[in-house]
Homo-oligomer: A and B are copies of this chain.
Amino acid sequence: MSGPRRPPGRRPGSADVTRRQIVAAARKVFGEVGFERATIRAIASVAAVDPALIHHHFASKQRLFAVAHELPDPIVVLTPVFTGPPGEMGSRLARAYLELMAAPGSPAISLLRSVATNDEAASMLREFLEDGALAIAEDLLPADQPRRRLALCAAHLIGLVIARSIVALPELAGETVDDLVSTVGPTLQRYLTEPL
């Protein structure tokens, strides 16, 4: 129907195929041993590629985890949040997160669902936040207790998405992202920048 069929299996030289092999191997290894114990070397071995290729395509284990779980790369999301005008940090964080999670069927919602029931998924998310988002806060957020501050924001935002998209409370499910940003932004601003 759509031209000659491709032969199955690996096609060396196709960057797309290599990326897909690496992502599939990463999902398998993260799933088996968790984020912390998964090594680039082990993922490379499962994908049957050179570890240097993984560094070339994904730069870091955090980024590979994010791609494998269809999560945003935290450095890409958080750098503009923390480095833009300091008075609107809370609104930027709320908007960045809610826009990612607002879509029904967002992969981040299915990750939250697994986290709630699967200890291994909860550990992976914890390690991903610890080594990713919270480490970035430590580098970029100009305040005391940067990790605790971002952890408080994460807790609030996770709960907001659960109440809105999973429990589906009409008081929150009916709000637009703009409404929520203007309500929740000042809370996150306080957590990020004011004395705690």
Chain A residues within 8 Å of B, Cβ to Cβ: 112-113, 115-117, 122, 125-126, 129-130, 134, 147-148, 151-152, 154-160, 162-164, 166-172, 183-184, 186-187, 190-191, 196
Contact = CB atoms under 8 A, between A and B. Distances in A.
Given A113-B116, A155-B162, 19 more contacts: A112-B116, A113-B117, A115-B166, A116-B116, A116-B162, A122-B168, A129-B169, A134-B169, A151-B163, A151-B169, A152-B172, A154-B159, A155-B159, A155-B164, A156-B160, A156-B187, A158-B162, A183-B196, A186-B190
A130 B174 CA distance: 14
**A interface SS class:** helix
A163 B155 contact: yes
Contacts of A115: 116, 162, 166-167
Contacts of A157: 159
A170 B164 CA distance: 26
Contacts of A113: 116-117
